Amino acid sequence: MNKNINKIILMGPQGSGKTTQGDRMAEYLDVEQIRAGNILRKEIRAQTDLGKQIDHVVNSGGLAPNELVLNLMFKTIDLLGDDAGFILDGFPRDLEQAEALDLHYPVDKVFNIEISDAEAVRRLEQRRVCPNGHVFHLEYHKPAKENICDICEKQLMQRKDDKPAIVKNRLAIYRQETSQLLDYYKKQNKLVVFDGEQSIKAVTKDILDYLKNAR
């Protein structure tokens, strides 16, 4: 294992398998995976003023404002302690967030799991989540009991923002806002691209092989 690589941004469009691959990377590297979506949804469930603002934006297919996201993410990273490794999933989303992250917590590598928009829509139609953020899939990762989370035994549901019309809107926003971001990290020689349309096992192998062999 290359211990020099333990601060990683995990990128890819919705449905690319970031959550699954991030879990496996986090276990391999023994670091925390920080999922921006889960942090934002926690605020929504708490029905804070901030959560209500986020809820309105997300249900319209948009993305939460940068100031709000940066505040929440930096507080979360701070709690890990000095020199702790981490995997960021869903953050940064654009150049402004990336530049702010570089000032506070520069990363070692950026892993981009790439899939087509059509494949993303197909996959997300079959994704199910529980209130605690555990993710299942009707094709790739079925729960033992129908519509029940294996971990907390809460009811599984389809998120509002996983419906096709909203997914397509989110993908358009994602492509537009991350094109500069990918160029930004490519120029820093930090960007590594993986083919996400392979099987989950094949993508995991590619990622772990890279981590084992990188110098």
For residue range 125-134, what is the model confidence (pLDDT) as tens digits? 999 999 998 9
- The string of pLDDT tens digits covering residues 161-202 is 899 999 999 899 889 888 999 999 999 999 999 999 999 899
**Burial (CB count <10 Å: 0-12, 13-18, 19+), residue 11:** buried
CB 119 within 8 A of CB 15: yes
The pLDDT value given to residue 161: 87
Mean pLDDT, residues 75-98 taken together: 90
- The string of pLDDT tens digits covering residues 33-52 is 999 888 888 878 888 787 78
Assess if CATH 3.40.50.720 describes domain 7-116+177-213. no
* CA–CA distance, 140 with 199 (Å, rounded to integer): 9
- 15 pLDDT band (50/70/90 cuts)? confident
DSSP SS3 for 179: helix
For all residues of the chain together, what is the average pLDDT?
Answer: 90
The pLDDT value given to residue 215: 57
Between 148 and 215, the higher pLDDT residue: 148
**Burial (CB count <10 Å: 0-12, 13-18, 19+), residue 206:** middle
The pLDDT value given to residue 3: 57
Which of 101, 99, 70 is CA-nearest to residue 8? 101
